[in-house]
Amino acid sequence: MEPVLEIESLKKYYGKSGSRTKALDGITFQVMPGEFLGIMGSSGSGKSTLLNCIATVIRPGSGSIKINGRPVQSLKGAELAGYRGKKIGYLFQSFELLDNLTGYENILLPLSLHNVPEKESRERLEQLAGYLEIQDVLHKFPVQMSGGQKQRVAAARALILNPEIILADEPTGALDSRNAKTLMNKLSGLNADSGATILMVTHDCNAASYCRRILFIQDGTLFHELRRNFPEESRQDFYGRILRIMAQTGGGSANVL
């Protein structure tokens, strides 16, 4: 099976030689179709830089990012815009819904951006709305929704064009625990039932326990990997293992390696 996303020797340095910060320092990993991958690390470890590189918000210094075997860095203009809208779906920590558009209009926004006729995606929208339980808020404005509803509308927007991979940047960061749990259940359900590929950056161990595999990143390098023994290992056990790693990283890599 071909990987959906291939990252190879990815580097991104900030600043000049005297005061250089190595945000990403030669990261290599792959994401297979239908995988639910988590990336964890403390603040400043480089996880957001990694996600931004994949989302083409920033250009890496060296290395390559390939989606379905195609290098992302070579994309320009319309192709690049198409990549952002169709190949990847982005789920933001602060939802990033347009507050002057209804839920329905927000979900359809990517269609409008990429000139996809509304008719083609109506069925998918109904499916997604049903699955994410947002039918009641479709015609409401974001200000009339709860945080969880907003994030689920945002998830529907990220999924509407059936992207190759969903990039989720701390999706539970702005949610209370109940809403966070609902959202993670829905995301992992989407992953399990529809085979959606998800790459999630988080430092919430609870959210991370929904993943099948977790990469730990520190000072711009990958330093550990956890795999859940699915289905033997329960989510609770996996959560325990994640907590242990996180406790160790609190003291720096010297305590782990």
Partner 1 sequence: MFFKLISRNSRRSRKENGLLFSSLLISIIAFYIILALPCQDVMIFLKKMESDAINRLMDIISVFYALALFILFFLIYYASRFQLERRGHEFGVYLMMGMRRVKLFALLLAEDFGNSVLSLAVGLPVAVLLSELVSLVTARLVGIGIVGHQVSFSLHAVLWTAAGFLLIKLAAFLLLSSRISQQEIGSLLAETPEGTKRQLPSLCYRAASLAGILCLALAYSLAIRGDAWWDIRVMALAVLLGLFGTFSLFWGLGFLIGLAARRGKRDRRLHVFNFRQIQETVTRRSNTLALCSLLILAALCCFGAGTAIFRSYGDPGQHVLDYTFPVSESADGPDVIRRTLSDHGLDTCFSHLFEMKTGHVQTTDGTRDVFQMELVMDTLEKMEPSEDRDVLLNNLQYATCPYVISLGSYNQLLAAAGLPGLELSSGEAAVYMDMDFSTPGRIDLMNEILNTCPEAVLDGNPLSLTGAVQTTNLVTDRSITLSFALILPDEAFEHYTRGNYSVYLDAVLTGEAAGDAGLMSAISEMNRKLNETGLSYESYLQNMGRQLFYQVAAGYITIYLAIIFLIIANTVIGVQFLMGQQKSGRRYRILSRLGASYKTLCHSARKQISWYFGIPIGVASFSSLFGIRSLLTGILSARAKGDLPEMMMVSAAMIFVLCVIECIYVEAVKRSSDRCLLSLMPPQREE
Give the DSSP per-residue string, 121-183. Answer: HHHHHHHHHHHHT-GGGTTS-GGGS-HHHHHHHHHHHHHTT--SEEEEESTTTTS-HHHHHHH
Smallest gap from Cβ 55 to partner 1, in A, equals: 7
Residue 57 makes contact with partner 1 by CB under 8 A = yes
101 contacts partner 1 (rule: CB under 8 A): yes
Upper half-sphere CA count for residue 151 (Cβ side, 13 Å): 25
Owner of token pair 């269609």:
111
Give me the least distance between CB of 110 and partner 1, in Å please.
6
Closest CA to 3 of 35, 36, 30, 38: 30
d(CA 255, CA 28): 23
Q: Which residue number, 80 or 174, has a Cβ lying nearer to partner 1?
A: 80
Instruction: Name the segment binding partner 1 (CB under 8 A); options: 115-123, 130-138, 178-186, 207-215.
Output: 115-123
# residues near partner 1 by CB under 8 A: 38
Q: Fill in the per-residue mask, 130 to 169: x = in contact with partner 1 (CB under 8 A), - = not in contact.
A: -------------x-------------x------------
Least distance (Å) between residue 79 CB and partner 1: 10
State in angstroms the smallest separation of the CB of 119 from partner 1: 8
Range 13-52, binding partner 1 (CB under 8 A): 52
Evaluate whether 148 touches 183 at the Cβ level (below 8 Å).
yes
- Using CB under 8 A, list all residues that contact partner 1: 52, 55-59, 76-78, 80-86, 90, 92, 96-101, 105, 108-118, 143, 157
